[in-house]
Structure 1
Amino acid sequence: MPLWMSGTTTVFSARRAMAAASSSLTWRPQASPESLQMPERDARDGRRSPFGAAAAARATHSAVLGPQTHRLPSKVMWSVTMLTASAVALMNFGMILAIKWLVGLKFSTMQRAIVESGVLHGILVLVLISTSYAVVGVCLIQFVAPSFGGSGIPENKAFLNGAQMPGLYSHRTCWVRAGTNILANAAGFPVGREGPMVTIGSNLAYLLCEKVLQPYVREWVTVAGSPALLVDEQRLAHATRISCTVGGACAIAVIFNAPFGGLLYMFEEVTAVSWYEELTFRVFVSTMFCSLLSYGLCWLMGSDITEFVIYAETPQIKKWAWGDVPIFVALAALVGVLTSLHTRAMWRFAALRQSSRERWRRLQPWPVVVETTLYASLCAFTSGMVSLLAVCAKEGESGLEYVPFNCPEGQYNPIASLLVATSHSSVKLLFSGTNGGEIHASSSFLAFLTYTSLNIGLAGLPVPGGAFTATMLMGGLFGRSVGAFCHTLQVTGSPSGVYAVVGSAAMLCGFKQMTLASVLIVVECVNDLSLAPIVMLGVAVSMAVNWSMNERGHDEEVIHRRALPYLEPEAPHRFDALAALDLCSPCCPLLPEAPLAQVLSALEEEAHYFPVKEPDGPCLGIASRAAVKSLLPSSSQAEHVQLDSELVEELLPIHRVMDPTPFTVVEDMPAPRLYSLFAKAGERAACVTSIRGDFRGLISRERLIALTR
């Protein structure tokens, strides 16, 4: 029997550990697990290896676990889950306090300047402070983490879909996102906190998994006399994606005080085909714990959670009548059109900005820094100048927080209360059922035109902000203006806040193309489940209109335009005429014991997986790129590879790190049926053979993604 065949059963870490510890590579199927010498300690740092005798016994009798299982101890996974929830709650609370302090400083300084020197001087102070915040934020992005200027939601979604996204999560990107998100909201950009916060939540979970879980999926073995660190990538990736989903759900839960909304948001974000069974209860517990921890932190600070989220302390008067239903339908249909046009305008504006930057490539990143800074000044200046068009009104009995701006004591500026204030406080004003008549139709409509224009113009700038609150505010402004106008015409007697709620949910669902999450988040914000039927009605109508105009939501379109590695749940229709052989990608087969020169040549290709086979034999297994690289000599030896002929001819045991039982399909299998193995079963690569078992090629997840585009 050839030597390489002795290791074909060592696909799992435990089996490879047994083979590495034994005196030879000879496979003894009758040997008991206790007779094999298992490495009890990590060769690098002396910690106990998780692969003990009990794990070896299980490994020798188990079938291939596959990519959809992690088999990690329950207590370890739950410790990561609770640590993630705690970290997200603490991070969110710290960011809230920072934003509150920076915004308070900006508003108090502006108001003092208005009282002492006039409104124009106050607007100038507002512009200067907003610009200074923007300068610090954009410089942090461009000079510390230049690839992470957006919300990070498209990249995060691609990672949760199963893509490999090197460099997406790190300590540096986590802190840069947090700091720049604080500065972007304090500067007054038309954005929210939720997009970057979801990515930050996943980032925190990723870092915790890297610290806690890696010792359970790695081992040191000796290959050709040198130690090599082997990591079971698929188990680690599966567990990490579970934890990153938990982190994103916790982020939504603490931002909107919506634990159920966080669960449903991530369910729709990940899609049902990638939603693992254990995630439901894990996310349920983590969002609950995260929300309770946020309440506890507020209690320690002597504050209330409703100061920091869009939330009504008690259910307010939001009665609606059957006569309002036709108006709700018309409002939702109109908002569906508006959100489709708004999304298309953002795509167009981002494309124009990207093409214009090509002319300034040699001067980058300074043109981006200047452009972003000037846009922050424009946002502050425009909001201040448009607010001057408002007519001051006397403070009502609602007790809500309005912005005086240029108005005398005891009065407020309705447009400034919607534009100059933070987006969270503006949405609270719009949703309220106790401030009828305090915000007129003209004020909310003018604010809608201004805020929407500024939000569209922001597309393409490296500003880490979220679209949830921004789109909710735009829909709320339009809905409130329609409700106030109908109330003026005496068409309805319902509070204008009800129309704002319906418009907000209709705008949010159209932009994100989400239904359940949009409804539940908005209903939890207003703390009134009686509005659920009309909110669902508005979402259904808006989604129907939006789907007829836009094929994808904003994030999905960004994924498509940036060519991010994302696999759609369903195969495209053109796959109906294809078979498995048509989907094969170019591959570099490796011998079970391959010369180092052959391995180095294969690694020069962009392939993610390599079939392992004899020249004229069938496919014996599949080895991932990372597993093959783990067998390479140390860096000191690799520098002299070309000089040492003996090293070049050294045989690397590829069979030690391959999967000897990969998915194998016949060449005539219909492509849509094969597609489900990757999209719904989570497979990474599959061998294609003839009906007689002859090797025909290899299909990888990356190849399918490229073909769908």
Structure 2
Amino acid sequence: MWRPSESATGWLVIVLTAIGMALSNLLMVFAVEYLVRFKFHTVQVAMDKFGVAAGILVLMALMFVFALVLTSLVHGLAPEAGGSGSAENKAWLNGFDTSKLFSPTILAVRFVAVIFSNTTGFPCGREGPTVALGGGMAFILCRCISAKHKEAREYLDMRAGAPGAVRMGCIVGGACGMAMIFNAPLGGILYMFEEVSSSFWPMELTFKSFVGCTICTTLSYSLLAVVHRGIREFVIFEMWYGPAVQDYRACDILPFIILSVLLGFLAPLHTMLCLKVQEMRKHLQSETVLRRFQPWAKMIDTVLFAILCAAAVGLASLSGECHEIPEQKLQQDLSYVQFQCEEGFFNPVASLLLTTPDGAVKMLFNRDNFEFLGLASAVSFLTYFTLNVLFTGVPVPTGNFTGAMLIGGMAGRLIGCVLGHLLPQMDFAPQGIYSMIGAAAMLSGFKQMTIAPVMFIVTAANNVDIAAPLMMAVSISLFISHMVACQDAWDEEQLIRKKLPYLPPEFCKELRHFSACDLMDELPAAACQLKPFALTSQIDEALMCCSAPWFPMLDGPRCASLLPRSGLEKQRRKHLGTDSIHVGAVAQRTGIQILEGTSAASLYPLFAQAHLQLKLNWSLRRETALQTTVTLILSHPTGTLHKAGQLHWLRSRRSMYGASMHRVSTT
């Protein structure tokens, strides 16, 4: 019988996850393409035969049906799938146990629901659910392997704590998902690197994620070639016109800066409005009379919003003028929506609002200066921005990455068009370049990322020459966002509002003057008297005097190891009626020594890097803060036990936050 080694087990998880993500992504994009074409064809037939009003009504009816199927699937089978899953996935990769959201039912529902969510026409993408799907796929694979090969459990590390093979597989799965959505393998790796931070990125993970993305993209290209399709039919891209066409000039630098500053203000405003809408929707659903009618109220909310989206984009598209479809080699690659126009003509507003977000961004990035497309961006921007904000909190699996990119792309295209009208004598860059700059600035301000947005857009443009202005836009937008923002980035705010346990890699500067003794509350004396053979009365007294999850086990004046509370309770139940119990059988040792004067800054890496096994017991201390608690055994340099207590790590909401966790630390 084959027994997997540690190395073989880790690589098996990586390879199977990459293959699974390639297959699931292809099934997803083909399903979305088929359903979207069916929807557009049906609407266009109704509009040609019975007029514009009939076409809009048919669009509303189709979106009603798709939304009804979507919300019935989510609330009927897996309500936990009603969200992007990115916040829960981020907490899992941070070292906390949120693996209950990785059940096969939730993953299957999320996979199907994402297809209907994008087909319905909601103002969203599929990035967050796809990343969560990759992480869940890796987790299920590891669970299957550990169930069949018990010797692999320790290496896989299915619990919270050290970043074992299961977490590396989850990260690779997310990287593969982002790589397939944007056709950018390096972008997927960088996205996950910024998502989990360097504290949770082991050295070996870089090579494994590289291999995983290579396998995933190569398999996808091969399968598409078999069915005579190309990857560019399903991803955002912009045709490069060669070195003879200049991308930007010196006169574009100042407009790029102005655009980045404007979007640096817009990104936190967009985040704030989204959070307000989310809070209001949550209040209506849980604290009013509607709470008695759940989940029906949420389902009706989803269906009604789908109808609202159909009516809004339909009416907004009526403002667009008809233009002849250009004769160009990109015609077959861009989404030209006819709407109320005659055969051979298209409506630019409908082409931006009625297509998928990927198709709209692809048209915005196109470097041909369609003046009408720039003017259509004004109406499209107002419509999509409003719907994107109002959509926040609707319980369906969605992603905000492409949505933020589309808002920034519309704003950039609009600015480029305005400059062309105001200063026709200036030879400005194509409007598509301005759209890329706007997309990068908006995306970085919304997600608080730097390298990943640049890599995605550079890959889409197939031109590394625009990396410099993109980096400039990202830098300015992030600087402005940090200066004016009254809240954290979108993902971090979701972690706070969902009360998910999470510790950032940065040290909380408010505690830099404190030491370990200043931050800990001492355990009662009764909790610090247990020896390898302890009296039953001593164990009962220790368990009753406090709720600490760990107790020091003494060997003379020294702390030999720690006793888990669960182990003590189990031993107590097992040996009823005895006078003494060998508690040393459940003791757990670690190799970390913490001296009494250790500074808080030196202690924090033990919390943030998740290299030790931890147990969760988190709770909301106040509305704006979370408490982090750790059992500490402090000692003198001689090794003699100094004191034992609970270390409370209180982090303000403004400077990030923590979760209450209990981590093993002893001499």
Of the three residues 620, 626, 633, the one matched with 1:688 is 633
Check whether the contact 1:581–1:696 (CA below 8 A) recurs between aligned residues. no
Aligned residue number for residue 655 of structure 1: 584
Deviations 1:560-597 (CA, angstroms, capped at 9, x unpaired): 23221111212212212332134446876776467999
Shift of 1:428: 0.6
**Is the aligned partner of 1:182 residue 2:115?**
yes
Q: 1:552 and 2:488 equivalent? A: yes
Indicate the residue corresponding to 1:414 in structure 2.
Answer: 348
**Could you tell me which residue of structure 2 aligns to residue 705 of structure 1?**
658
Instruction: Note the C-alpha offset of 1:245.
Output: 0.8
TM-score by length of 2: 0.86
Q: Point out the more displaced range, 173-182 or 611-620.
A: 611-620
**1:650 Cα deviation after fit:** 9.6
Judging changes above 3 Å, is the alpha-carbon distance between structure 1 residues 285 and 599 closer, same or farther for their aligned structure 2 residues?
farther
Query: Which structure 2 segments of 5+ residues have no match?
Result: 615-629, 652-656, 662-667
Matches of 1:131 and 1:108 in 2, distance apart? 17
Aligned to 1:134: 67
Superposed CA offset, 1:379-409 (max 9, x none):
1110011000111111112323300011011
In the alignment, is residue 374 of structure 1 matched against residue 304 of structure 2? yes
1:137 Cα shift? 1.4
Give the alignment of 1:513-528 within 5 angstroms.
513-528=448-463
Preserved CA contact (<8 Å) 1:306 1:313:
no
The percent of aligned pairs where both chains have the same amino acid is 37
Partners of 1:80 and 1:702 lie apart in 2 by 37
Instruction: Provide the residue aligned with 2:410 in structure 1.
Output: 477
Higher Cα Rg: structure 1 or 2?
1
Aligned twin of 2:476 = 541
Instruction: After TM superposition, give the deviation of residue 347 of structure 1 in Å.
Output: 1.0
Matched, 1:242 2:163: no
**In structure 1, how many angstroms separate the alpha carbons of the residues matched to 2:562 and 2:210?**
37
Correspondence for 2:617: none
The one-letter amino acid of 2:491's match is D
SS of the equivalent of 1:421 reads: coil
Contact 1:418–1:447 (CA under 8 A) maintained in structure 2: yes
Q: C-alpha separation between the residues in 1 aligned to 2:548 and 2:460?
A: 45
Alignment of 1:621-640 (within 5 A): 621-623=561-563
Superposed CA RMSD in Å reads 3.1
Alignment: residue pair count: 620
Displacement of 1:667 in angstroms is 3.1
**Counterparts in 2 of 1:324 and 1:311: CA distance versus 1, 3 Å:** same
Letter of the structure 2 residue corresponding to residue 510 of structure 1? G
Q: Which runs of 5+ in 1 are unaligned?
A: 1-46, 51-71, 221-229, 634-640
Cα deviation, residue 232, structure 1: 8.4
Within 5 Å, give how 1:358-397 maps onto structure 2. 358-359=287-288, 360-397=290-327
Q: 1:376 to 1:632 in 2, by over 3 A?
A: farther
State the match for 1:403 in structure 2: 337
Q: Distance in 1 between matches of 2:195 and 2:323?
A: 43
Aligned partner of residue 100 in structure 2, secondary structure: coil
1:338 corresponding residue in structure 2: 266
Q: Match for 1:502 among 416, 425, 437? A: 437
8 Å contact 2:97–2:159 — kept in the other structure?
no
Q: Alpha carbons of 1:101 and 1:581: their partners in 2 closer, same or farther (altered >3 Å)?
A: same
Task: Rate the CA distance shift 1:157–1:325 in 2: closer, same or farther, 3 A.
Answer: same
Distance 1:627 1:84, change over 3 A: farther
Single out whichever of 325-334 and 209-218 deviates more from structure 2: 209-218
C-alpha displacement of 1:614: 4.8
AA at the equivalent of 1:184: S
Q: Which of 143, 146, 149 matches 2:79?
A: 146
Partner AA of 1:456 in structure 2: V
Structure 2: distance between partners of 1:594 and 1:144: 49
> Residue 81 of structure 1 aligns with which residue?
14
- Correspondences of 1:606-645 after superposition (within 5 Å): 609-614=549-554, 618-623=558-563
Q: Contact 1:608 / 1:625 at 8 angstroms: preserved in 2? A: yes
| Structure 1 range deviating more: 315-324 or 645-654 | 645-654
Whole-angstrom CA distance in 2 between matches of 1:602 and 1:219: 36
Q: How does 1:12-161 map to 2 (within 5 A)?
A: 73-161=6-94
Which residue does 2:623 correspond to in 1? none
Following the alignment from structure 2 to structure 1, what is the Cα–Cα distance between the partners of residues 76 and 577? Answer: 41
User: For residues 558 and 113 of structure 1, do their structure 2 counterparts lie closer, same or farther at Cα, with a shift above 3 Å needed?
Assistant: same
Partner of 2:619: none
Tell me which of 346, 352, 358 is aligned to 2:280.
352
Give the counterpart letter for 1:661 in structure 2. Answer: T
> Aligned pair in 2 of structure 1 residues 49, 497: CA closer, same or farther (>3 Å)?
closer
CA contact (8 A) 1:667 1:696 kept: no
Q: Pairwise mapping of residues 200-279 of structure 1 onto structure 2 (< 5 A)?
A: 200-213=133-146, 233=159, 238-279=164-205
Deviation of 1:698 after TM superposition, in Å, equals: 4.5
Do the aligned partners of residues 256 and 660 (structure 1) sit closer, same or farther apart at CA in structure 2, a change above 3 Å counting?
same
- Over 3 Å counting, the alpha-carbon distance change for 1:231 and 1:296 in structure 2 is closer
Q: Which residue of 2 aligns with 1:33?
A: none
Q: Is the CA contact (8 Å cut-off) linking 1:217 and 1:236 kept in structure 2?
A: no
- CA 1:330–1:277 in 2, change beyond 3 Å: closer, same or farther? same
Amino acid at match of 1:670: S
Indicate if the aligned counterparts of 2:557 and 2:641 stay in contact, CA closer than 8 A.
Answer: no
Distance in structure 2 (CA, Å) of the matches to 1:406 and 1:109: 14
In structure 2, distance between residues paired with 1:496 and 1:99: 29
Distance 2:138 2:545 in 1: 32
The letter for the 2-side match of 1:242 is M
Corresponding residue for 1:450? 383
* Separation of aligned partners in 1, 2:567 and 2:223: 45
After TM superposition, give the deviation of residue 333 of structure 1 in Å: 0.6
- Please, which moves more after superposition, 235-244 or 527-536? 235-244
Q: Tell me the secondary structure at the aligned position of residue 593 of structure 2.
A: strand
The CA deviation string for residues 132-167 of structure 1, in whole angstroms up to 9 with x for no partner, is 111121222223222331111111111111112141
